Amino acid sequence: MSGIVLETRQMHMAFGGLVIFESIDFALRQGERHAIIGPNGAGKTTFVNLVTGLLKPISGTIWLDGQDVTRQSPQQRVKSGLVRTFQINSLFKALNPLESVMLALLERDGLGRIAWRKVAAEKHQIDEAMALLARFGLADDAYTLTDSLAYGKQRLLEIVLALALKPKVLLLDEPAAGLSTQQGHEVFSQLANLPGETAILFIEHDMNLVFQYADIVSVFAAGSMVLQDSPENVRKSPRVREVYLGA
Amino acid sequence: MSVMDPAPAQISTSGRDYFATLARWKIWEILFWAALAGCYFVPEMDRMLMSRVIIWGLFAMSLDILLGYRGIPSLGHAVFFGTGAYVAGFCGKYGWTEPISALFFAMAIAAALGWLTGKLVQRVAGVGLLMVTLGLNLILFDFVLRSTDLTGGDDGLQGIVIAPVLNMFRFDIYGRTAFWYALVVAFILFVAARILVKSPFGLALIGARENPRRMITLGAPVEGDVSRAFMIAAALAGAAGALLTQTTQTVAPPTLSFQRSADVLVILIIGGAGRLYGGFIGAIVFILLQDYLSSISPVYWYFWIGLLLVVIVSFFRKGLLPSLDALLQRFIKRKPDTPS
């Protein structure tokens, strides 16, 4: 069993009187391909927002690589290797994919505050950006305005931006949402090619993708984690059927 | 994309070429600055007026860094212009008559104030930002107006002395030195701003304009960048203010009035935000029109400025320069189809 890279301890969250999580204890291990499933409103995206720091939990702690990051800003967590994608495309509309990926690479390499020489001087990053785009079939669209890209390509760009940061822990909020079945599988086979030590946590509704690519599945429902097990066991579990169908 | 920034996809295949092409000086840019310098040699040219145009252009360009590149609106940009103007005025009044070092000093003070303003507003957005910047403007204006002992109040600072530039060129009533001094300083600062907007930091500003939340999740210090953008914009605005004081040897409260903040916003919107040149184009139109209209009717000229603003914003949306650009672009695209 390899080490835990991301952990929540007794994390409690509520919006006003609406309790989202009573208390969540969750652990993600190095190299794991971990899926979170659950019906709408189970708190899956809120979980990702809490872990990445866009939201602050009411109580409980969040640990990254053995360090308490509960009080750290989202930026500090990114610098420690915790990177996410968004469920709804969250991109730079007036920039093209090359410029967008450059933003990620320049921030990763600590070059984003350089104001006295042009972007063209950062040749390594430019070449790396082009290579990343090519890997995801976006090379031909490198100079097309993001806003005018097809939806599927915007989804891919969303993932390229996250990968550009060389994450230790990658959180994907419905990476295949809105993609065709084939595109969905393409995305996941690319993710499967990532370095083995990268831990991936993904929220996904497409059960075929979940059962094919996850080693472990957590089921969220009504503010708690009702089950955490291998894909085969989750598939067979009557609890899961109950959660989804309300039977 | 556009004629101003040609879509390099058509020209190049590698990413390196793309960014290199973006940063390259275009022929029309050289023509623009040459034409501005050439104004000096036009007979009957009012050089004092032209130096005012250049100073306003620089001032509007400084706002462009905030509004056009970072997407932060400000209704109090005259705070930094006025600070630069008064600092240069105090320098001239109390014996620091050498203009270039005083200009740097004025920029530094304005930059410090800009940085503080950035700290104050970095968590505020939208209408709140307009209110805070407007409030700061009103506070400073009232302070300067009431501190008669320090600032001369309504009458402005008296007895400002500015030594010849480089100990060689005296400021004369024909505006010869004023013209060249303003032009050279504006050009140098323009080149610096141009490098900045094509730099990694410039790209980060645009990224935060487009999607601040996404920039945070890429690990960018978005709030710190707001302070940095304010600091840079304030330094440039302060330089414009100092230039106005030094070229006219006077400074009075209108340099930091709310009216001035509104005017510079109008100039930038008329010219077009987000491309550095918009401020200069807007200043040429606004200041020359103001000069012409106020000579026919000193009372009602704001009527025409208002009308111009309504017409431009309704019909050209993004301002003169981008509209002109789009028009040229259409013309160029159509060209290959027309038989020669």
Query: Do A74 and B216 count as a contact with CB atoms less than 8 A apart?
Result: yes
* Average confidence score pLDDT of chain A: 89
Q: Would you call B274 an interface residue with chain A, using a CB distance cutoff of 8 Å?
A: no
- Counting residues of chain A whose pLDDT is more than 90, the rounded percentage is 48
| Chain A contact set for B22 (CB, 8 A) | 118-120
Task: Return the CATH fold of A4-245.
Answer: Rossmann fold (3.40.50)
pLDDT tens per residue across span B227-245: 999 999 999 999 999 999 9
Residues with Cβ within 8 Å of B161's Cβ and at least 6 positions away in sequence, in order, are B92, B93, B97, B249
B161 or A64: whose pLDDT is higher? Answer: A64
Nearest CB to A122; choose among B196, B200, B206: B200
| Chain B contact set for A122 (CB, 8 A) | 200
Inform me whether the pLDDT recorded for B59 exceeds 90.
yes
Most confident of A144-158, B180-194, B258-272, B317-331: B180-194
Query: A197 falls in which pLDDT band (50, 70, 90)?
Result: confident
Query: B172 falls in which pLDDT band (50, 70, 90)?
Result: confident
B261 or A20: whose pLDDT is higher? Answer: B261
ipTM: 0.84
pLDDT at B169: 83
pLDDT at B37: 92
pLDDT at B64: 96
pLDDT tens per residue across span B277-299: 999 999 999 999 888 888 887 77
CA distance A52 to chain B (A): 8
Q: Would you call A92 an interface residue with chain B, using a CB distance cutoff of 8 Å?
A: yes
How large is the average pLDDT for residues A93-122?
93
How large is the average pLDDT for residues B268-273?
90
pLDDT at B334: 60
pLDDT at B296: 83
Q: In which element (H, E) is residue A1 found?
A: none
Query: Do A93 and B7 count as a contact with CB atoms less than 8 A apart?
Result: no
Query: A91 falls in which pLDDT band (50, 70, 90)?
Result: very high
- The 3-state DSSP class for residue A9 equals strand
Query: Do A112 and B204 count as a contact with CB atoms less than 8 A apart?
Result: yes
DSSP A10-73: EEEEEETTEEEEEEEEEEEETT-EEEEE--TTSSHHHHHHHHHTSS--SEEEEEETTEE-TTS-
Query: Do B196 and A115 count as a contact with CB atoms less than 8 A apart?
Result: yes
Query: Do B15 and A130 count as a contact with CB atoms less than 8 A apart?
Result: yes
Query: Do B204 and A113 count as a contact with CB atoms less than 8 A apart?
Result: yes
CA distance B317 to chain A (A): 17
Query: A2 falls in which pLDDT band (50, 70, 90)?
Result: low
How large is the average pLDDT for residues A97-119?
94
Q: Would you call A142 an interface residue with chain B, using a CB distance cutoff of 8 Å?
A: yes
B7 or B316: whose pLDDT is higher? Answer: B316
Query: B116 falls in which pLDDT band (50, 70, 90)?
Result: very high
Inform me whether the pLDDT recorded for B339 exceeds 60.
no
pLDDT tens per residue across span B199-209: 999 999 999 99
pLDDT at B332: 73
| Chain B contact set for A102 (CB, 8 A) | 200, 203
pLDDT at B333: 66
Residues with Cβ within 8 Å of A123's Cβ and at least 6 positions away in sequence, in order, are B16
Query: Do B200 and A108 count as a contact with CB atoms less than 8 A apart?
Result: no
pLDDT tens per residue across span B20-48: 988 889 999 999 999 999 988 888 888 88
B2 or B72: whose pLDDT is higher? Answer: B72
Lowest model confidence (mean pLDDT) among A202-211, B126-135, B161-170, B192-201 = B161-170
Q: Would you call B228 an interface residue with chain A, using a CB distance cutoff of 8 Å?
A: yes
| Chain A contact set for B198 (CB, 8 A) | 118-120
Q: Would you call A93 an interface residue with chain B, using a CB distance cutoff of 8 Å?
A: yes
Query: B166 falls in which pLDDT band (50, 70, 90)?
Result: confident
CA distance A222 to chain B (A): 27
Q: From the centroid of its chain, how far is CA B195?
A: 16
| Chain B contact set for A130 (CB, 8 A) | 14-15
pLDDT at B11: 39
pLDDT tens per residue across span B298-308: 777 788 888 88
Nearest CB to A111; choose among B200, B211, B221: B200
pLDDT at B107: 96
pLDDT at B7: 47
pLDDT at B196: 96
Q: Would you call A161 an interface residue with chain B, using a CB distance cutoff of 8 Å?
A: yes
Inform me whether the pLDDT recorded for B69 exceeds 90.
yes
Nearest CB to B221; choose among A75, A102, A108: A75
Query: Do B210 and A116 count as a contact with CB atoms less than 8 A apart?
Result: no
Inform me whether the pLDDT recorded for B187 exceeds 60.
yes
pLDDT at B186: 96
Inform me whether the pLDDT recorded for B180 exceeds 60.
yes
Q: Would you call B43 an interface residue with chain A, using a CB distance cutoff of 8 Å?
A: no
Separation of alpha carbons A236 and B225, rounded Å: 51
* Average confidence score pLDDT of chain B: 87
From chain B residues 168-197, the ones with a CB under 8 A of any chain A CB are: 195-196
CA closest to B219 among chain A residues: A75
Query: Do B204 and A118 count as a contact with CB atoms less than 8 A apart?
Result: no
CA closest to B224 among chain A residues: A113
pLDDT at B87: 95
Inform me whether the pLDDT recorded for A1 exceeds 60.
no
- The 3-state DSSP class for residue A219 equals strand
Compute CA distances A103 → B91, B214, B218, whole Å.
42, 10, 8
Inform me whether the pLDDT recorded for B337 exceeds 50.
no
Mutation target for B interface from A90, A91, A92, A154: give the one with most B CBs within 10 A: A92
Query: B2 falls in which pLDDT band (50, 70, 90)?
Result: very low
